[in-house]
Amino acid sequence: MSFADVTIKLLNGFGVSLALFALTLVISLPLGLVFCAGSRCRFKPLRYIVRGFVYIIRGTPLLLQLMVVVYLPGIAFDMPLTKWTVFGGNVSAAYFFGALAAFVINYACYFSEIYRGGIENMPKGQYEAGQVLGMTKSQIFFKVILLQLFKRILTPIANETITLVKDTALARTVSVAEIFFCASEILSLKYIIWPLFYAGAFYLIFNAIVTGIFNYIEKKLNYFRA
């Protein structure tokens, strides 16, 4: 198998990995805010339910969650993902969206705790100053707290995002043809191992790009001292 053939196959797999990464990030970031609001809700039953759910998700392996989301419907309700008409019988698409659901839930829970920690660690004087100036709670949050909160949580968000890049490789366990799945397939069929290291180079380059983006954002926020 030539270098060009391997490159084309890995690029196809990387496209799947990139889609899984991007969709997970776009959906889980705002969903994390919803979980955060639930975990800080004054209605105790809802707060305990949300915090219990977040604890379970954060306390169990992502691999286990992938298996549950993808295979549990078929075992418990005789509704495997491959039979879902919404996917038109496309097995690979069904597994992809099943894996996406597991990734979104997992990372939304992690992001929610990052948000909650950032909000709860904000100095109370910031809220009091806004109240003295006659600002409403929403005005205080959006005009006083939000920029400071974003700067405080940027580093942990960046760390989770970099972890997400690598975690996309777990999707291969539920038959999603991401880049590591493609490299492993070449290994098993052609008995050549260098495509695994080649796939690793994709992860390194992608993580370098993600890190560079967050470093750029951090520098742009240096003017603001919380």
pLDDT of residue 36: 92
Question: What H or E segment, with its residue span, contains residue 46?
Answer: helix 44-59
Assessment of whether the complete model's pTM goes beyond 0.85: yes
What the block records as the tokens of 13 is 């797999």
H-type helices in 78-193, by residue range?
A: 91-120, 124-132, 137-140, 146-167, 179-190
Range of the domain at 25: 3-122+153-220
135 domain-assigned: no
Q: What's the total number of domains in the chain?
A: 1
What the block records as the tokens of 40 is 């800080």
225 domain-assigned: no
CA 216 to chain centre: 21
Q: At what angle do helices 44-59 and 91-120 cross, to 10 degrees?
A: 120
170 domain-assigned: yes
Query: The domain spanning residue 74 has which CATH number?
Result: 1.10.3720.10
45 domain-assigned: yes
What the block records as the tokens of 42 is 């004054």
Any idea what the Cα angle at residue 16 is, between residues 173 and 73, rounded to 5°? 45
144 domain-assigned: no
CA 140 to chain centre: 29
143 domain-assigned: no
Any idea what the Cα angle at residue 58 is, between residues 53 and 64, rounded to 5°? 95
130 domain-assigned: no
Distance (Å, whole) CA 154 – CA 8: 35
pLDDT of residue 87: 52
pLDDT of residue 226: 46
**Radius of gyration from C-alpha coordinates of the chain:** 21
Distance (Å, whole) CA 122 – CA 120: 5
CB atoms near residue 225 (< 10 Å): 7
Instruction: For the chain, 226 residues long, give each residue's pLDDT as a single digit of tens.
Output: 788 889 999 999 999 999 999 999 999 999 999 999 899 888 889 999 999 999 999 999 999 999 999 888 777 777 666 665 555 555 678 889 989 999 999 999 999 999 998 888 877 777 777 788 788 877 777 777 777 788 889 999 999 999 999 999 999 999 898 999 999 999 888 888 999 999 999 999 999 999 999 999 888 877 555 4
pLDDT of residue 202: 94
131 domain-assigned: no
